[in-house]
Structure 1
Amino acid sequence: MKVQILPDAEAVAAVAAAEILVEVAACPRLILGVATGRTMEPVYARLAQAAAEGAEFGGVELFALDEYVGLAPGHAGSFRSYLERHVVGPLRILPERLHVPDGTSINPIEEARRYEARIRAAGGIDLQLLGLGRNGHIAFNEPGSSFGSRTRIVRLAQSTRDDSRGALPPGMEPPRAGITMGVGTILEARRVLLLASGAGKHPAAEAMCFGPVSPACPGSALRLHPDATALLDRDAAGSE
């Protein structure tokens, strides 16, 4: 895994957006795995600015990393809603080119299998964006997740639920479970780009980069990938 240390979160977002723009220019029908959360918002804002200046994203197909179990697609706290606001609309991508697990499926286990099959049918992910959780999780793959895991239902760690409160409507209790791409699913992407910023991510980033390659830190699985890059700001990297 390549590690690039950048001055701050804005620099991380700038480099990530530039990398995505290069990929889309080279492959207009890019299959892009998209993440949610505050770390990704400045990345998507830069892509939206590029779209306003003429960059074309209409051929890109999007696959979300995960979704909360129990939230309807139109719920303000759902990841589908986030991606529609930050990516689909600003980049002028047709809504049908966004794929997100259905958190309200009456059979979530079958929904997870269906989503995994849809990724395969699309030809796999070309470029997968990832954030890094404070406990080392990637997507909703909490510590202990098998490196061979596929898209499935997971119970969310309390730290993950606590961190999600700021992105949910005021007073809403964070969901207890999610549907997520598995670690094995993520590792099949042709290229992976992970972003982490802030001192709160330093322990997880250090474990990911220098600790044992172990399910105890799901992010460490990226060291097994042939083309993974971690973009860290100085605070996340713990550098002066």
Structure 2
Amino acid sequence: MELIIAPDSRAIATIVADAIAALLDRKPDAVLGVATGSSPLAIYDELATRYAAGAISLAGARAFMLDEYVGLAADHPQRYRNVIETEFAGRVDIDPANVQGPDGLAADIPAACAAYEQAIVDAGGVDVQILGIGTDGHIAFNEPGSSLASRTRIKTLTVQTRQDNARFFDGDLEQVPTHCLTQGLATIMSARHLVLVATGLAKAEAVHHMVEGSVSAMWPATILQHHPHATVLVDEAAASRLQLASYYRQTYESKPAWQGI
């Protein structure tokens, strides 16, 4: 796992967008894994800016979403398919037909989850998966206690996660769905490159456990320690509990420019 401490979300976004641009240069039909929440927004802004400037194209790319709420109407603004359209897909030239997410309105949930897993496989797998992390260490909607071998499935959201997400529902906890469909931890780990972004003091404890703690289902993001190519990018606040912060800074500052992330 590589840990990069950057000054702010804009600096993080530049690093990640550089990596995605390099991927698209060598593989125009790259498969991206896209996440919702606050953490990836600066990345999407940077990609949209580069597209508008003619610096990148996602015309041949595909994208798979991490998760989706169960039961939200197709036109609900917080349905994750709509959020991804607003924040990312609608701002670049990716074909809308090539952006897929779990079907939170499916009549047969297990079948929909299995079909989503197969769609990722049929696409050749995810090249770069963007991730955030919850204050309790969850990634996607794999809450504490999730199986480290899990695949796409239905999950019950914890009260903490629903409280954290209530800000997207006018602060009304009752509007936040209780269930979701989410890629499992094993599904996420199948991506070739994991890029996790965390900013702010509220994420400091989760980042500490993820990077320097023991691998445990109680802190699901710790599974990234077993990935052969995982990059974690944090700001100073999110890095504030890291015991080896000075070493991580030294390592990144000494890294050969050609290596990228």
Question: Is this contact kept in 2: 1:126–1:191, CA < 8 A?
Answer: yes
Tell me, in whole angstroms, the C-alpha distance in 2 between the residues paired with 1:107 and 1:187.
25
Aligned to 1:104: 105
The match for 1:204 among 203, 206, 210 is 206
RMSD (CA atoms): 1.3
Aligned to 1:5: 5
Three-state SS of the structure 2 residue aligned to 1:46 is helix
Aligned to 1:88: 89
Tell me if 1:113 matches 2:114: yes
The match for 2:235 among 200, 215, 233 is 233
Three-state SS of the structure 1 residue aligned to 2:77 is coil
Find the structure with the greater CA-based Rg. Answer: 2
Number of paired residues? 240
Question: Is this contact kept in 2: 1:137–1:219, CA < 8 A?
Answer: yes
Question: Is this contact kept in 2: 1:73–1:103, CA < 8 A?
Answer: no
Aligned to 1:47: 47
1:75-224 correspondence to structure 2 within 5 Å? 75-168=76-169, 171=172, 173-224=175-226
Three-state SS of the structure 1 residue aligned to 2:91 is coil
Q: Percent identity?
A: 40
Tell me, in whole angstroms, the C-alpha distance in 1 between the residues paired with 2:6 and 2:27.
27
Tell me, in whole angstroms, the C-alpha distance in 2 between the residues paired with 1:26 and 1:232.
27
TM-aligned CA deviation for residue 66 of structure 1: 0.2
Three-state SS of the structure 2 residue aligned to 1:96 is helix
Three-state SS of the structure 2 residue aligned to 1:193 is strand
TM-aligned CA deviation for residue 5 of structure 1: 0.8
Query: Where in structure 2 are there 5+ consecutive unaligned residues?
Result: 247-261
Tell me, in whole angstroms, the C-alpha distance in 2 between the residues paired with 1:78 and 1:169.
14
Tell me, in whole angstroms, the C-alpha distance in 2 between the residues paired with 1:85 and 1:169.
18
Tell me, in whole angstroms, the C-alpha distance in 1 between the residues paired with 2:234 and 2:171.
30
Question: Is this contact kept in 2: 1:8–1:235, CA < 8 A?
Answer: no
Three-state SS of the structure 2 residue aligned to 1:229 is strand
